Structures are given as C-alpha cells and as structure tokens.
Homo-oligomer: A and B are copies of this chain.
Amino acid sequence: MATVIAVDAMGGDLAPTATVEGAVRAASAVDARVVLVGPADVLRRELARYDAAHRGTIAVIDAPDVIGMHESALGAVRRKRRSSIRVAADLVHEGRAAAVFSAGHSGATVLSAHAAFGLVDGVGKSALAVTVPTLGGAAVLVDAGANLECRSEHLAQFAAMGTAYAAVALGLERPRVGLLSIGEEEGKGTELVRDAHALLRASGLNFIGNLEARELFTGRADVVVCDGFTGNVALKVGEGLVEAAVEMIREELGAAWVSQVGAFFTRRAFERFRQRVDYAEYGAGLLLGVRGLTLVGHGRSSARAVESGIAMAARLVDGRVIERVSETLHGKVP
C-alpha cells in the first residue's frame, strides 16, 4: 500500500491553490497518497479544476479553522482545535497518515507537532533541519529556527539527530558534523558554543570541530549545528543574498550592450543555478525530535515546492528516519 501523506492544504502564502496543485502533481509523480486537510468545500472546488486522474490518490479531510501567518502561534494552536495543521498532525498520530507537510505558520506547525506527537524520549528541544546546497552536493543545517534559545546539551542532541537525518536524506554512512562558530579554533565562540564543542568531542559522532560560517557552502561538513536564532539568520542571509545577487548580476549584464548577447546564452545557466539554490527544489525542512514525521515547508512554497515536500515526506517514511533518529540519540551512532 502506498504511503499516506497528510497535507495542511491551508498552509502557506499561496494556499490553497498551490497546495492542491502540488498534491495533484505529486499524485502522478510520487508513489504516495495525499490527504488534503482544510475546509472541505474550498478544497473540493480547487480539486474540480483538475481532471479526474488524481481520484483514488487524493482524499479530503475537513478542518474548518485556519491559522493565519501573523497570529500568535501559541494562542492560535490552543484556541483553534480544528485548524488544518492540527487536524493534519492528528491524522499521523492516529496512524491514518505516515507524515504531515505544512507550508503554513511554522511556529504553529512546531507546536501542533509537539501537541500531537510529543518529544522523543530524552530529547530536550525539537529542531528544524534543512538541507542547503554545497559545492559538493548538500548539507543539513540544524536548528534552522524551531527554538531560538537553547543549551549546549540541546546542540549535542541536534548533532545526533542531524546525523541520523543526513544518513537517510543524503545517503551517507558517517556524516561529518561541524559546529557553527566564528573561528575554527576550539576556544572560539560564545560560551554555548564552547560547551557544546566539549560535548561533541566526547559524543562518538563524526565531529570535525568548529566550522566558520563561510564554509557552510563548501561541503566540508555534512551536518552543521547551531542554535535556532543563528541558523535562521544564516539561512535567511543566504536566501536574501541569492535574490540580491541574481538582481545585481542582471543589472551588470544590462549595463553594457555587448553583455546582452551574453545574457541570451547564459539565461539557461542562470536558471540552473537558481534551481540549485532554490528552496522549492529542496522541498521542506524536517522537524527533528518529535515522534511523528513533520515537514515544514517555506511560507512562499509554490506548487512545485509542495510536490517536492510530499515526495520528500514519502522518501523519509521509506528511510525510517524517525526510528533512525531515536537509534542515533540512544548511542547507535552511524
């Protein structure tokens, strides 16, 4: 039987249009069944825009409440018991789906996952793991913003969970773990970083030491560990710079007539570069440390990104990533 993925159909700036289209695309491309969760009438109307080829692989589950992007996560999750994200997470808890995907309010997704699944035994905080492109391929950054403030033992747990995830997602036997800091020397960094360094040295993980932020994209580490505030800033700086760089290079290309000839030829190269660094190709982040497979999509997820997120969810179910995380946390280090 195909894996069932629950999709918060109301999550994201482009929902429900992009989520429904993403589910329809996944239905023909991915070996998974999709349950779209949201106001049933709205979703059926969206689905009616596509031909019937998706029937049998897409179901709709009604959830009348929607959490807006600017609501307080804590208040909204408590108040709206039948929100699309909460109902979608509950489907996984009840065993009716194997994973949940949401591109909605990420704070609300994290809290809904906590409420529905609880934390894995021994884990102090959950963490969001995202893949970033590197010169050699890809690396996992953890925490990308699930928890802004944490202690050194949390960072050590992020490293163990990120190792399990990288083993599955990147197909690595013994992922190299780097600790994000401002210099490579052991003594460099904040107190948090210095304490985490000592814990990681003793962890049995494949710890390669501190990693300067400029090495995030070189591929020197497969798992890059930091607190959620730093991780979120690092990720967003990267995103903003790619947008600015594409814009600046366009301006430079436009500045000279002769360059426009070049622009014609290089347009496709640019498109491929953009794809390589585009979050849409990477699908979603994985929430580590909760006892249910939870994928957190980018708020601006397109149909293409939703499709990638569903495909990624199905692969991670196959890869038994939740079990692998538990095993790694309890000392079965890859």
Contact between chains at B229 and A213 (CB < 8 Å) = no
Contact between chains at A233 and B213 (CB < 8 Å) = yes
Contact for A252 among B133, B237, B269, CB less than 8 A: B269
Give chain B nearest CB distance to A138 CB in angstroms. 12
Contact for A248 among B70, B135, B228, B253, CB less than 8 A: B135
| B contact residues around A270 at 8 Å (CB) | 249, 252
- Bound-state CA distance A240–B248 (Å) is 17
- The segment from A93-101, A183-191, A283-291 that touches chain B is A183-191
A residues 237-295 with Cβ under 8 Å of B? Answer: 237-245, 247-249, 252-253, 255-256, 258-259, 261-266, 268-270, 272-273, 276-277
Q: Which of A243, A253, A266 has the most CB of B within 10 A?
A: A266
Contact between chains at B266 and A259 (CB < 8 Å) = yes
Contact between chains at B149 and A191 (CB < 8 Å) = yes
Contact between chains at B268 and A265 (CB < 8 Å) = no
Query: Is A43 part of the contact surface with B, judged by Cβ < 8 Å?
Result: no
A273-B249 contact in complex given A229-B189, A240-B213, C-beta closer than 8 Å: yes
- The segment from A8-16, A111-119, A214-222 that touches chain B is A214-222
- Bound-state CA distance A226–B258 (Å) is 42
A261-B265 contact in complex given A182-B148, A238-B241, A240-B214, C-beta closer than 8 Å: yes
Q: Is the interface of A mostly helix, strand, loop or mixed?
A: helix
| B contact residues around A232 at 8 Å (CB) | 182, 213
Contact between chains at A262 and B255 (CB < 8 Å) = no
- Bound-state CA distance A239–B185 (Å) is 20
Contact for A230 among B229, B235, B241, B243, CB less than 8 A: B229
Q: Which of A238, A241, A245, A268 has the most CB of B within 10 A?
A: A241
Query: Is A318 part of the contact surface with B, judged by Cβ < 8 Å?
Result: no
Contact between chains at B70 and A182 (CB < 8 Å) = no
| B contact residues around A240 at 8 Å (CB) | 212-218
By beta carbon, the residue of chain B nearest A260 is: B265
- Bound-state CA distance A277–B241 (Å) is 10
| B contact residues around A259 at 8 Å (CB) | 265-266, 268-269
Contact for A180 among B180, B187, B233, B244, CB less than 8 A: B233
| B contact residues around A248 at 8 Å (CB) | 133, 135, 273, 276-277
Query: Is A208 part of the contact surface with B, judged by Cβ < 8 Å?
Result: no
Contact between chains at B252 and A272 (CB < 8 Å) = yes
Query: Is A234 part of the contact surface with B, judged by Cβ < 8 Å?
Result: yes
Query: Is A44 part of the contact surface with B, judged by Cβ < 8 Å?
Result: no
By beta carbon, the residue of chain B nearest A70 is: B185
Query: Is A203 part of the contact surface with B, judged by Cβ < 8 Å?
Result: no
- Bound-state CA distance A218–B242 (Å) is 11
